[in-house]
Amino acid sequence: MPSSNFWLRRLERVLTAVVQTLTVLSAVVMILSLLVGVFFRYVMQDSLTWSEEVAMLCFSWLIFLAAALMVRENGHVRMELIEPAMSAKAYGLLNQFIWILIAMIGGYMAWTGFQFIQLTMGQSSPAIRYPIWMRDISLPIGGILITFYALLNLCAKPDGQTSESAHSRVTLES
């Protein structure tokens, strides 16, 4: 019988592939929407009513999905002034504290995002008339993904790396 880590790694790989695909798709659609809007406005002398709304919808999804991917890759900006002077044990404790804090922030994003959706439920966008919750749900989904990836990183080990390279890819402990 496969271990729970097998299923967790598989879930993480599949989820990451989906998030990466949606992130790229959001970026491409946003850029194309903006380019079409600019073309029609300045070349055709006719504004499109939908291009900015599509771009805003894609931008919202792009931001929160990309933020979750950056948590997965440990790619967010961090100050590394004191890390080189820390012992390996102190660095490990600091890193665990950081991942716990990031997971809590992701959980808070999810919780407040769902509350915000309840406030805006029933509203629709002015031009396209899509339900506003389709844009706003990107916040709690991003928060859930951030929490998931932060908890995975919290449970990961740095493969015997030193503190200078501990931010490299991590693997789940067996």
Instruction: Say what the pLDDT of residue 158 is.
Output: 61
Instruction: Say what the pLDDT of residue 98 is.
Output: 93
Q: Residue ranges of the chain with pLDDT lower than 70?
A: 1-3, 157-174
pTM of the predicted structure, to 2 decimals: 0.84
Q: What is the dihedral angle through the alpha carbons of 121, 126, 130, 133, rounded to the nearest 10 degrees?
A: -30
* Domain chopping of the chain, boundaries: 4-172
- How large is the C-alpha radius of gyration of the chain? 20
Using CA atoms, how far apart are residues 150 and 148, in angstroms rounded to an integer? 6
Measured CA to CA in angstroms, residue 79 lies from 2, 76, 83, 168, 169 at distances of 39, 10, 9, 16, 19
